[in-house]
């Protein structure tokens, strides 16, 4: 699988290589990663990170607005998470609703599934955009 992000590119074949790629951080402590099978544009996946928080989008084909993975926010947590990464617009950071943020281990599981199947992780947690 081919990954582009944080001013780098990776070709990954294993879950460990995938983990290393999506856990890398840019100068602002975040990252944006585009994942696709080598030589193909679609389907593709976008994973953004900021500190320990991740969000995931899946795009099945060109022209489709995609799907966004939803989580169940923990009680007592703030309603948004500020995502900051190189190229973030606005530069100060983007407020992402907590319901769309997930921890690293889940982002890795979703990306690992995509790496071996080029399909969306099976879950009822996807929101079609």
Per-residue pLDDT band for 76 (boundaries 50, 70, 90) equals: low
DSSP for 66-83 reads -EEE---PPTT--SEEEE
pLDDT of 77 above 90? no
- Span 64-72, mean pLDDT? 93
> 14-23, 49-58, 68-77: which has the minimum mean pLDDT?
68-77
Per-residue pLDDT band for 39 (boundaries 50, 70, 90) equals: confident
**Measured between alpha carbons, how far is 91 from 67 in angstroms, rounded to an integer?**
25
Q: Is the pTM of this model over 0.85?
A: yes
pLDDT of 75 above 90? no
- Span 67-86, mean pLDDT? 85
The answer to whether 12 and 37 are in contact (CB under 8 A) is no
Which tokens go with 17?
A: 């290589």
Contact partners, residue 115, CB within 8 Å, separation at least 6: 1, 12, 15, 18, 35
């Amino acid at each position: 699988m081919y990954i582009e992000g944080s001013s780098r590119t990776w070709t990954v074949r294993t879950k460990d290589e995938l983990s290393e790629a999506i856990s890398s951080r840019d100068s602002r402590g975040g990252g944006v990663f585009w994942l696709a099978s080598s030589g193909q544009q679609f389907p593709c996946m976008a994973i953004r990170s900021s500190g320990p928080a991740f969000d995931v989008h899946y795009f099945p084909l060109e022209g489709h607005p995609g799907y966004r993975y939803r989580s169940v926010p923990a009680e007592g947590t703030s309603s948004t998470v500020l995502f900051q990464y190189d190229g973030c617009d606005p530069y100060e950071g983007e407020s992402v609703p907590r319901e769309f943020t997930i921890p690293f281990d889940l982002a890795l599981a979703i990306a690992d599934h995509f790496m071996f199947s080029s399909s969306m992780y099976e879950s009822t947690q996807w929101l079609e955009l």
